[in-house]
Every structure is written in structure tokens, then in C-alpha cells.
Copies of this chain bind each other. A is one copy, B any other.
Amino acid sequence: MAKKVIIVGGVAGGASAAARLRRVNEETEIIMFERGEYISFANCGLPYYIGGAITQREKLLVQSVSGMKNRFNIDIRIKTEILAIDPVKKKITARNLVTGKTYDESYDTLLLSPGASPIKPPIKGIEAAENLYTLRNIPDMDKIKAFVDQRSPKHAVVIGGGFIGLEMAENLIDRGVDVTLVEMSNQVLGPLDFEMAAAVQEHLVQKGVKVILNDGVSSFENQGKTVVLTSGTKIETNMVLLAIGVKPENRLAKEAGLEIGQRGGIVVNEYLQTSAPDVYAIGDAVQVSHYMNGEPVQIPLAWPANRQGRIVADTIMGKKTAYKGTLGTAIAKIFDLTAASTGLNEKQLMQAGVVYKTVHVHPSSHAGYYPGANAIALKMLFSPDDGKIYGAQAVGKDGVDKRIDVLATAIKGSLTIYDLPDLELSYAPPYSSAKDPVNMAGYAAVNILEGNVETIQWHEMEQMITNREEIIDVREPEEYEMGHIETAVNIPLSQLRDRMGEIKNKKVIIYCQAGLRGYIASRILVQNGFKPINLDGGYKTYSTAVM
């Protein structure tokens, strides 16, 4: 007899699973329940329809109910909410939100892909805030767009400096709305480390966003028209966009007694099976293992949801397929910048007590002599033992996605930093340099591990300055004049061999703009009996972070 599979949630994870289930088996009875009016829509596109980059609303509907029915012969029940699941009797209770009718439906296998919902903490005055929005689905989007279209707000407060917060800041600015961004931690974009996020913050400010860090919302007054921060600051505004993160939609699972992780994600094994044998769960709702270290994490992104949907369908159809964990590759466009990351960041490594090394490089997105080249700030974290790549982050105007994708691939291929110089990447002037930025990061990292250079990180400089260590700026005088580390003395690299006598101490800190000249200077000095230490990432990384 044909199997009966019920799916809860009809968007990224759910619809992907349904499609693959049908491709694997024509006979299976597949019922897909969706609480909302739309299935298979592009959550990730929502900010851009508000901002106007996407002009046709229907483009966000990747599959319509009828299209999906015709192509995949799936029983799709929209506007129908699953109220409860009974993993013992293997049935669910559904309510048709139009008719109000409630009914039970039995299943052989149940798949949960209910997603996550925006966190909305019980801040004082939040319920009365009429102008406060969160963004998760098409109706949310419609409401925000209608408000912006009809009320032409002059000012908005975006609360939360994550991907969605920043995307909304940009899209509101594109609509002519002044934006104040409020972020509780000391940086935007949590997946990046501080100095990398600093470059994004600088850009936000350039684009007219007022960025407030280290401050949270303590209350809303005046129906949300006044946002009161923990610091006491009051901001008058026309609208509030709350984007401080999402929490897994775990109510059904919880009430059915399924195991839930510490941070609320449904616990699943490598086959995406919950603690109830015939119940599977995927997407934003689940807790997964981090690809790098197996730690339980929640990484609410579309790739994992789609991948898990594909995999779980195979498993349900009898071909057990393991999910190998989430690497957390993430990216966002922030005005003219792209910020992306993969693997673990420095904060995570420190927290996990992992010993690591860091390298920062600032290579050009493509050949400097070809128009449109821009520096990419690229940071890589790796093991001092075997050169294993732990993670990478990049910020720049162009070519950031490519380098992070190459590094994400390198990680999955178990390549180490020693392999990166050997990556033969495509080169012509409009696309890269003969040594690609990833090659360059590899070279620089290998030099650190092979002892060709000793480096110091931007956050360690404070101590050096305080200690009055000797610091040499090896850039050209014009560069030095434009800004330098206060206690640094200028000896340009091109004169270093002749002016080495001016250096007083064996131990000397060297820096240049991006790290390259400092490295060359180090090579010269170390062979002349000095103990040079090169500022990793140069003045560029340092000044972005400390200023």
C-alpha cells in the first residue's frame, strides 16, 4: 500500500521535501499543510520588494498552489493550521482557518518544517506600538510596504543589526526613510568578528544609517512613536522594524513531547528524525550539528532548509541519507558592500577554547589595473597544528561571495591552508589576479605557520603602544601623513635596507597598509638579526577596528 506522508509547512523545507518525495515515488500520498495563504515563497526576497528592487510581487511566489499541484500531484491545504500532533496514534489535528473546521488526519510519516518566528520580547509598550513590524512572510511584507507606500514615514528605527535588520535598513533608505539602527551588542552581523563588522558599520554610516551599538530597547512609548533605549536615549520615529532574531516554531513538537534542544530547536538525529520515530523535522525549526565541531546549533538559513528537505525525502522513501551538519555559510548585501562568512568565527573559537591562528589580507577583487577593482578584506582562521581551515569572513564591494564559496568548498574538501596556494582559480583581469585573494590568504597563512613571519593582531596593539614598544610604519611618507599609529616611526620599505640602523631594538613591531609590505620588511629585518612582528592586516584592519 502507498505510504501517506504529511508535511507541516509549505515553504523552503516543506515544499522542497514534497517535490523530491514525488519525484522519488508517484504513489505516495502527500499532504502539505500551510497555515498561510502562500506556499513556496521567497522569504529572502521580501526586503527587496519593500525597497523596490523587486517590482513584481508575484515573482516572490516561486510556486503557486495550482502549479505545484499540477507538477507534483500533491494535496496542498493552505490556510490550514496544524493544531496538534499525536505521535503515538500517528495523526495530526488540522484547522481550516477559513471555515474554522477542525479535523484529524492520519499519517505514516510526519514531516515538520514549520520554520521560525520573529522574536518579539515582552518589552514595555510593545503591544500598544501600532507602527511596529516584524518580517517573516508575505502578509508581513504587504503590511510594511503598505505603511511605507501610504504613510511615507520620515524615520524608522530598525532594532537588530543582523542580516534581516541590515537588509531592511538598506531597503528603507532606498525608499527615502531615515533609519536609526539599534543593536544591543558591540557590533552588527554576529557571524562576523568585530573588526570585520566594523567595516560594515562604517559603510552603513556613510550611507546615512544612524548606527547605535551597545544599546537595547527598554520600552516603547506613545504607541511606538517613541523608542526608549536602555541608555535612556529616546528616539522619535514613525515606524519600528523589530529584527532581533527568530525562534524555532516548536510548539507542536513540544506539546507532542518531542525532544527540544536548549535553545528551542527540535532535536533531530543525522537522519533528521525527531525523538518520535515516524516524525521528521527540518529547517529553521530544528537544532543541527555544526559541520566543524558537531556542536548543537540553530542556523536558520535557506540552504540548510532546502538541503534537508531533499535529504529527508530520500530517507522517508527508504534511502537513508545523512545530513552532514551546517557550516553556516552566510552572506548579505549591505548597500554597496557584501559581507559573508563560512565556518567558525573567532568568537566561537575562543568560546570553544580552540587554539587558532588568524590571518587578514586585503587583496583586490580583480586586477588592479582593470576598472572596478576593490579591496576585499578577507579574514581566515586556522589551526596552528595542521593548517585546518576553521572559518573565513570577507567584506568588500565585489567578489566576496566567490571567495567565501571557494573557501567553503575547500573546507568541505578538507583542504588546509597549505592547499590554498595550489587552488588554480580562473584568472583574467576582470575576474581576479594571477594570484587570487584565496591563494593570497593561503600564502600569508602558510608563512605564519612556517615561521617566515611573526604576526600580531589589531587588538593586541593597544598593549604594545602602552608598553612603548618600538613601532615602525614602513609605508610611504604620504601614507604615514594620512594617519598612523601614534607612536610609530616612518621608515618606508624602499629605504629599509639603508636605514635599518635607525631601529633601536631587536624586537620591533612593523606595519604597512595591508600587511604585505610589513611582511617583506619582516623578511629583511629577521635576516638582519631583528625580531620583527608584523601587524596582521596592516593599518587597514587596525584602523577600521579601533576607529
B residues in contact with A67, CB < 8 Å: 494
In the complex, chain A residues 334-348 whose Cβ is within 8 Å of any chain B Cβ = 338, 340, 342
B residues in contact with A12, CB < 8 Å: 434
Contact residue among B22, B26, B409, B436 (Cβ-Cβ distance under 8 Å from A413): B409
What is the 8 Å Cβ interface bit string for chain A, positions 198-214, against chain B (1 contact, 0 not)? 00000000000000000
In the complex, chain A residues 490-511 whose Cβ is within 8 Å of any chain B Cβ = 493-495, 497
B residues in contact with A289, CB < 8 Å: none
Contact residue among B27, B329, B428 (Cβ-Cβ distance under 8 Å from A44): B428
A468 shortest CB reach to chain B, Å: 29
Contact residue among B53, B402, B495 (Cβ-Cβ distance under 8 Å from A370): B53
Interchain CA distance A291-B419 in the complex, whole Å? 14
A476 shortest CB reach to chain B, Å: 11
A221 within 8 A of B: no
In the complex, chain A residues 20-55 whose Cβ is within 8 Å of any chain B Cβ = 22-27, 42, 44-45, 48, 53-54
Interchain CA distance A313-B424 in the complex, whole Å? 19
What is the 8 Å Cβ interface bit string for chain A, positions 409-441, against chain B (1 contact, 0 not)? 110111100010111111111111011100100
A194 within 8 A of B: no
User: Are B520 and A71 interface neighbours, CB within 8 A?
Assistant: yes
A494 shortest CB reach to chain B, Å: 4
A440 shortest CB reach to chain B, Å: 11
A497 shortest CB reach to chain B, Å: 6
State how many copies of this chain the complex holds: 2
User: Are B427 and A302 interface neighbours, CB within 8 A?
Assistant: yes
A318 within 8 A of B: no
Contact residue among B25, B413, B434, B439 (Cβ-Cβ distance under 8 Å from A414): B413
Name which of A25, A71, A338, A404 has the most chain B CB atoms within 10 A of its CB.
A71
A70 within 8 A of B: yes
A305 within 8 A of B: yes
A524 within 8 A of B: yes
Q: A12-B434, A369-B59, A527-B26 are in contact. Are A408 and B429 (CB under 8 A)?
A: no
For A519, give the chain B residue with the smallest CB separation: B23
A473 within 8 A of B: no
A240 within 8 A of B: no
User: Are B404 and A406 interface neighbours, CB within 8 A?
Assistant: no
User: Are B523 and A307 interface neighbours, CB within 8 A?
Assistant: no
A367 within 8 A of B: yes
For A341, give the chain B residue with the smallest CB separation: B426
B residues in contact with A310, CB < 8 Å: 421, 443
B residues in contact with A303, CB < 8 Å: 424-425, 427, 434-436
A275 shortest CB reach to chain B, Å: 25
User: Are A330 and B413 interface neighbours, CB within 8 A?
Assistant: no
A479 shortest CB reach to chain B, Å: 15
A371 within 8 A of B: yes
Seed contacts A25-B527, A303-B424, A413-B413; 15 additional CB < 8 Å A-B pairs: A23-B520, A42-B367, A44-B367, A54-B369, A70-B493, A303-B425, A305-B434, A306-B435, A310-B443, A338-B431, A405-B425, A406-B406, A409-B423, A412-B415, A413-B419
Listed A/B pairs (27) with beta-carbon separation below 8 Å = A22-B523, A23-B452, A26-B523, A44-B427, A45-B370, A48-B370, A53-B371, A70-B494, A163-B428, A303-B425, A305-B434, A307-B422, A307-B424, A331-B426, A338-B431, A401-B426, A402-B402, A404-B426, A406-B409, A408-B423, A408-B426, A409-B413, A409-B423, A409-B425, A412-B422, A412-B423, A412-B424
User: Which A residues are closer than 8 A to B by beta carbons?
Assistant: 12, 22-27, 42, 44-45, 48, 53-54, 56, 59-60, 62, 67, 70-73, 163, 291, 301-307, 310, 324, 326-333, 338, 340, 342, 367-371, 401-402, 404-406, 408-410, 412-415, 419, 421-432, 434-436, 439, 443, 452, 493-495, 497, 519-520, 523-524, 527-528
5 tightest A-B CB contacts, nearest first:
A413-B413, A331-B426, A70-B494, A59-B369, A302-B434
